[in-house]
Chain A
């Protein structure tokens, strides 16, 4: 069986500086992987490169998604094929209601896959159903995208999109940043509800705390642009006790 995501010896530069120095990672459908590491280890760079954010230069290696070359695809093509990045800092878009944004995005993905676009009533029914399960009031969806949303609301809006778009690979970039424990629990519950044998998740985090709520199958430690250690969920707890310092030595 082809792995859902294969990152092979990936080397990435940003403005002449190499951030990832040969990163390798394999994620199969149904698995939840956590990527941990200190600030500046390249965790967010990895998530951005997988999603196709401009400004990163891939100088070596490859990323395969369901066996296809992901780096060759525009960000919207990746999205239509099932790659979803939940942003660490979701942007605010004044003047575009969340509802219009969701419908335009979902229909763009469906069109790209050759599926029929949702008509407004069908779409509304679907959003109501998904928003209800995440305790998101419909009023919130009539506001500008993320405009005036609290940190928790912004992250719930990311989870809402995940639930609506049903991607096969979800990358959660520092989902816990800026959230108090209650908001974190709500967002994590939404993510856990989406765990399925067809879907994989890559949870990027600095702290072990998030992994109490989203329990991973595999944990990888990144340092200085490489995966320096991989293991099971117990590795996260071990890190909590010992810190990242030992791995920084390994990478050096």
Chain B
């Protein structure tokens, strides 16, 4: 009865969309059952709203209103538009894995000469195959989160990547999600990246679109395992269209003596939410997360990070920056959970917001839950405008107001981009920031 009451018109429409999409969704038997359960879990809550604490600042019933129907598989024209979009964002020296409208596009991807120890499969193949253990890992994301449940129900494709023990990948793996334009639609993807013991790799995720793509929805998820002694460098760049939605979730587990360095930057979309749960399950491991939101117009971007310190002697650093113009709205919810065995945890979280307009908004919600007694945990936040004395100095040297602002914004963002180790990827991030600044000028 309650279920029926909670259903909005949207819910009903989506039920039909799910029924219609089912023949296209990979995986039978147990996978199909799990999808059905996930869809029911989603339907019980529907689009999350502000009455759910975790979604307080990002009320999808207001912002998103409805879930669009599943995007059709890309035809030749869509693939050709995607190939054009790729030109601006593709860089040399990486292995590209491209998903167009939520479907893996082998012709746009680099599948040749795989390094020894690297395997790449599509999500479709994995779900169609009889591999219960791998399926369990893929479905390990938090099923109580309605957007993850929806993603579990609807996911059509993705890439499942494994790097064997001891393998150090020379080339970064670049997963690129492209929306090809066409009718408003939603794409549902899930990927997985497993890094074996003593392995090392760089993973880049980009979200881009064809020139004429406007209104669409990206529903993505990522499962990452970092083995003992392994190191993963991770970069995530969201440059979706200014009318697009991007709701992405990830679950990361970090093993013993492992290192996870992640950088995320959002310059696109009208509404986005990136929710990540990082579990540090092995001792003596290290996690660094750096995030940047560059927002103007009416853009809304929410980053929600949960850092679970399960094992002792680990450190985590979270530095999150936002540059906000016009009515831009940035949300950062950072939660650090230190479990009882996680003694000697060193966990810090910092947010810095730069407000360029009186109407911009930055919401920070730090939460610390500590059950161990010998730990160092802290959080801090600053919010401010560009320094007038610095602006005047630059203008007195000939720079226009916009140029002076741009230089100071670049400096602010640059400190975060510095955390990217790979030179080419740092350049990729800088050019994304420059595109945002250029569009502003």
Residues in A lying within 8 Å of B, measured CB to CB = 51-54, 74-76, 78-80, 84-85, 87, 90-91, 93-96, 100-101, 104-106, 108-109, 112, 144, 161, 165
**Bound Cα distance from A101 to B408, whole angstroms:** 10
Q: Which of B395, B400, B407 contacts A96 (CB 8 A)?
A: B407
**Bound Cα distance from A165 to B398, whole angstroms:** 10
Q: Which of A78, A87, A93, A112 has the most CB of B within 10 A?
A: A93
Please give me the residue from chain B that is nearest to A74 by CB atom.
B395
- Report how many residues on chain B are interfacial, defined by Cβ distance under 8 Å: 23
In the A-B complex, the 5 residue pairs with the smallest Cβ-Cβ separation, listed nearest first, are A95-B411, A109-B398, A105-B397, A79-B398, A75-B395
B408 touches A106 (CB 8 A): no
**Bound Cα distance from A33 to B389, whole angstroms:** 27
A108 touches B393 (CB 8 A): no
**Bound Cα distance from A87 to B408, whole angstroms:** 19
**Bound Cα distance from A76 to B393, whole angstroms:** 10
A112 touches B398 (CB 8 A): yes
Contacts of B408 in A (CB 8 A): 93, 96
Q: Which of B392, B397, B410 has the most CB of A within 10 A?
A: B397
Contacts of A112 in B (CB 8 A): 398
**Bound Cα distance from A76 to B415, whole angstroms:** 27
Contacts of B400 in A (CB 8 A): 74, 76, 108
Contacts of A79 in B (CB 8 A): 395-398
Q: Which of B389, B404, B412 contacts A95 (CB 8 A)?
A: B412
B398 touches A96 (CB 8 A): no
**Bound Cα distance from A95 to B394, whole angstroms:** 14
Q: Looking at chain B's contact residues, is the secondary structure mostly helix, strand, loop, or mixed?
A: helix
A105 touches B390 (CB 8 A): no
A52 touches B396 (CB 8 A): yes
A108 touches B410 (CB 8 A): no
Contacts of A96 in B (CB 8 A): 407-408, 410-411
Known: A93-B408, A95-B414. A85 touches B390 (CB 8 A): no
Contact with A along B160-179 (1 / 0, CB 8 A): 00000000000000000000
Q: Does B403 contact A (CB under 8 A)?
A: yes
A235, chain B: closest CB distance, angstroms: 29
Q: Does B399 contact A (CB under 8 A)?
A: yes
Q: Which of A51, A52, A87, A104 contacts B407 (CB 8 A)?
A: A104
For the complex with contacts A74-B401, A78-B396, A91-B387, 9 further pairs of A-B residues with Cβ separation under 8 Å are A75-B395, A76-B396, A91-B390, A96-B407, A96-B408, A101-B397, A101-B407, A109-B397, A144-B411
**Bound Cα distance from A248 to B411, whole angstroms:** 46
**Bound Cα distance from A251 to B390, whole angstroms:** 35
Known: A54-B392, A75-B392, A104-B403. A95 touches B415 (CB 8 A): yes
Q: Which of A75, A93, A100 contacts B390 (CB 8 A)?
A: A93
Q: Which of B393, B398, B407 contacts A91 (CB 8 A)?
A: B393
